[in-house]
Amino acid sequence: MTDPITAAARATPAPVARRIRGLSDRAIAWLFVAPTIFLLLAINIFPLIWTIRLSFTNYAANRPNREVEWVGLRNYERILTDDGIWANMQTTAHFLLWTLFFQVVIGFTLAWLINRKFKGNDLLTTLIVLPMMLSPAVVGNFWTFLYQPQIGLVNYVVELVSGIPASSFSMLGPGGYAPWSIIIVDTWMWTPFVMLICLAGLRSIPDYIYEAAEIDRASKWRQFWTITVPMVLPFLMLAVLFRGIENFKMFDMVVLLTGGGPGNETLLASIDLKREAFEKWRTGYSSAYAIILFVTVFGLASIYVKALNKVKER
């Protein structure tokens, strides 16, 4: 089934096909790629190099006239020996690990259920996806309302379900619930993402593999662990990579939900960094902080990608 144009093109010898008027292909290629590369150099790479440079100084952006001194590695030394920053890193790790755990478990389960192809699964999938398309800042702000003790929806539902009085606890206040509150909102928003990628993974498994397993009399349980899980694993790991990078950078939703509080209970690294850079105006110090975070993400991500490739090769 070839249309005449395709047939003509196939029949034409290559040199004729390449004979063109106007710019050469090479010139066009450069012309087309250059603006993108230029934009990325100007707004991504150049600032990154600038950050590295600033990290060795004591520059303060709100005092541009003060003499800038080179301080060598002192900023890095101070950050790596600061107990507060290690505490923030632990807060970030707590947030990261639990959000990934919940999103993987719930996301995979949902995908597995949706893959039963019951009636109306398309519509439900679309509705489930809605939260992840919304502005994290607006969502974070609104969840402060849902988390209000007394008048908030969350406490009310907890009271209805468990009988614990709504006014006896505060999700965002003291009492240790705040780190879990941000995990709940992030899980609510981003479980659909993990679900969609798992769903793509499940749908990529050809039916004949299950049919072969059935002929071999493998139990459903065995099929699940020897076919479904290994085949979805590379997809799931990819989802974890994307979510991991995003949540390491997490800023907007949490800053509006808790602002890092109460105390420093939900002070994630990015929020702390923003305070150092744009409230305390310790530009040099916070540049070093930014580089440390950046190197951490890149280091962890590349180790992870190596593991991912190993899984894919199997």
Per CB under 8 A, contacts with another protein among 199-238 are 200-201, 204, 207, 210-211, 214, 235, 238
Residue 141 found at the interface with another protein (CB under 8 A): yes
Residue 283 found at the interface with another protein (CB under 8 A): yes
Closest CB to another protein among 178 and 257? 257
Residue 242 found at the interface with another protein (CB under 8 A): yes
Nearest CA to 179 out of 246, 130, 109, 250 is that of 250
Residue 50 found at the interface with another protein (CB under 8 A): yes
Both tokens of 311, joined, read 């899984």
| Chosen residue from 85, 197, 236, 237 binding another protein by CB under 8 A | 197
Alpha-carbon torsion, ordered 301, 305, 306, 308, to 10 deg: 140
Q: What does the alpha-carbon distance between residue 192 and residue 293 come to, in Å, rounded to a whole number?
A: 27
- Least distance to another protein, CB of residue 149, Å: 10
Residues 152-181 interacting with another protein (rule: CB under 8 A): 152-153, 156, 166
Residues 77-106 interacting with another protein (rule: CB under 8 A): 106
Alpha helices in 46-177 (DSSP H): 46-54, 74-80, 83-114, 121-129, 136-146, 153-162
Nearest CA to 178 out of 101, 83, 263 is that of 263
Q: What does the alpha-carbon distance between residue 73 and residue 51 come to, in Å, rounded to a whole number?
A: 14
Q: How far are the Cα atoms of 1, 3, 114, 182 from residue 101, in angstroms, in the given order?
A: 50, 51, 20, 14
- Least distance to another protein, CB of residue 73, Å: 18
Name the one range near another protein by CB under 8 A: 66-74, 81-89, 123-131, 173-181.
123-131
| Chosen residue from 76, 177, 188, 304 binding another protein by CB under 8 A | 188
Q: How many CA atoms lie within 13 A of 116 on its CB side?
A: 10
Residues 102-121 interacting with another protein (rule: CB under 8 A): 106, 110, 113-114, 116-121
Residue 9 found at the interface with another protein (CB under 8 A): yes
Residues that bind another protein (rule: CB under 8 A) add up to a total of 111
